[in-house]
Amino acid sequence: MAFARLTAILALAVAANAAVAPTRQVTCATGQKTANAACCALFPVVDLLQSQLFDGAECGEEAHSALRLSFHDAIGFSIHGGKGGGADGSILAFADTETAFHANGGIDEITDGQTPVWKQTNLTAGDFVHLAAAVGTANCPGAPRLEFKLGRPAPKAPAPDLTIPEPTDSVTSILARFADAGFSPREAVALLASHTVAAADVVDTTIPGTPFDSTPFTFDSQVFLEVLLKGKLFPGNGSQPGEVLSPLAGEMRLQSDFVISQDPRTACFWQAMINNQQFMMSEFKNAMAKLQVLGQDTNKLIDCSDVVPVPKTFNQNIKFPASFSQKDVQVACKASAFPKISTVAGPAPTVPPVPGS
Ligand code: HEM
């Protein structure tokens, strides 16, 4: 008993000490501070990314595409082996091969955009792709500050084709692919928070830059709400493969997002994100931390997360787009109550395209 009390007191003392112990930091030649001197070389790369790729720290088309690229790179991996080197930058280093894969439609724009910037750095393709994704995401208000680990070796070979889920795939096939790469259904839904800062260029080529929600420049939970609204229109040239009816003019709904929102294996994870900003941020941050080091020897990576810019916060309640309300929601999670959401005033909006697409 006395021993147990002593252990508890000691544990408390250690915890208190850990809480006040200052984090050791080094000051880089550029004046910035970081936990590890090896990370100093990244601050100029962050500046380069912001000025040459992200139009001065914007959450625009390039930031969105950099996040998509990190997924398409990393998911070339299987816990059983034989499906590529994961988050190794093979999609950039072997862009000629990987951009030809069907699921990589439109990805050549961002590999073409990143290559000249990458060539100005000493980073491996993997470190570059995953740093760019963390920095681009940080430009989106409401995003979590993603981790960044430095030290991926150069990729050995392109990933094989058919590792990237397609919007025409069934939920069973999508979840099987995620499981094969080491992700649970909950983590798969967490990663889909990315579609809150996203638009489609090639699903319907007549309407490039068509967003998946009405706020593609903010990392809010709006996409999780809008994918549940009753669909009524196709925003462009009729129905395309991988697309289902959307609730709003100018907005695209992916079939994959919709079926995942409705499936009993994922519907409650989907609903739990709605108007739950902190929860969504932490779910996405954790799943991305795993995604961005897939296939890497994490013991050899250096934690340089403190070079990633701190995103602006978003702490408002989300709203139904004007003219929509609870009666328009296709609720698929029966286990928990749907959150109470108010409606924007005015007539139903038309969502404008993301410029530069
Ligand atoms: C079920 C899995 C997924 C499917 C089927 C899927 C499918 C798609 C499709 C079809 C597009 C539009 C491409 C175009 O027409 O230009 C897209 C865009 C995008 N996806 Fe996914 N995606 C999935 C998961 C993810 C994940 C896990 C991430 C990141 C962690 C991600 C990030 C993005 C982003 C940021 C865009 C927008 C790119 C831009 O606006 O340039 N997606 N996705």
If asked whether residues 181 and 41 sit together in one domain, one would say no
- pLDDT of the residue at 10: 39
CA distance 253 to 312: 27
- Assess if residue 336 is contained within a domain: no
Rounded distance between C-alpha atoms, residue 201 and residue 198, angstroms: 10
Domain coverage including residue 116: 33-164+288-307
C-alpha 280: how far from its chain's center? 11
Which of 194, 219, 285 to probe ligand 1 with, by most ligand atoms within 8 A of CB? 194
Q: Which helix (H) or strand (E) covers residue 268, if one does?
A: helix 267-272
**Residue 80 annotated to the active site:** no
Predicted structure pTM score? 0.94
pLDDT score recorded for residue 24: 84
190 and 153 together in one domain: no
| Per-residue pLDDT at 13 exceeds 60 | no
**pLDDT attached to residue 14:** 42
Q: How far is the CA of 136 from the centre of ligand 1 (A)?
A: 15
pLDDT higher than threshold 80 for residue 127: yes
Q: Alpha-carbon distance 149 to 336, whole Å?
A: 37
- Tens digit of each residue's pLDDT (9 = 90 or more) over 219-249: 999 999 999 999 999 999 999 999 999 999 9
Tell me whether residue 76 is in a domain: yes
Per-residue model confidence (pLDDT) at position 21 = 56
Summarised one tens digit per residue, pLDDT across range 21-57 is 567 899 999 999 999 999 999 999 999 999 999 999 9
Distance CA 314, CA 327 (A): 27
Report CA-CA distances (Å) from 15 to 6, 35, 109, 122, 173: 14, 21, 49, 39, 44
Q: Does some domain include residue 27? A: no
pLDDT at 5: 54
Shortest-distance atom of ligand 1 to CA 174: 1
Residues 120 and 200 in one domain: no
Q: Looking at per-residue confidence, does 11 or 74 come out higher?
A: 74
If asked whether residues 190 and 297 sit together in one domain, one would say no
Q: What is the mean pLDDT of the chain?
A: 95
- Which mutation among 195, 240, 243, 270 tests ligand 1's pocket best, with the greatest number of atoms within 8 A of CB? 195
Share of the chain above pLDDT 70, in %: 94
User: Which tens digits make up the pLDDT trace of 245-276?
Assistant: 999 999 999 999 999 999 999 999 999 999 99
Residue 237 belongs to a domain with what CATH number? 1.10.420.10
Same domain, 123 and 218: no
- The closest-lying atom of ligand 1 relative to the alpha carbon of residue 109 is 41
Let me know if residue 348 belongs to a domain: no
Residue 149 has a pLDDT of 98
Indicate the pLDDT class of residue 20, thresholds 50, 70 and 90. low
Q: Which two tokens stand for residue 302?
A: 């250096």
The answer on pLDDT for 136 being more than 80 is yes
Q: Give yes or no for residue 148 having a pLDDT over 90.
A: yes
Q: Which residues line ligand 1 (CB under 6 A)?
A: 61, 64-65, 67-68, 71, 106, 165-167, 174, 191-192, 194-195, 197-203, 242, 254, 256
> How many domains are contained in the chain?
2
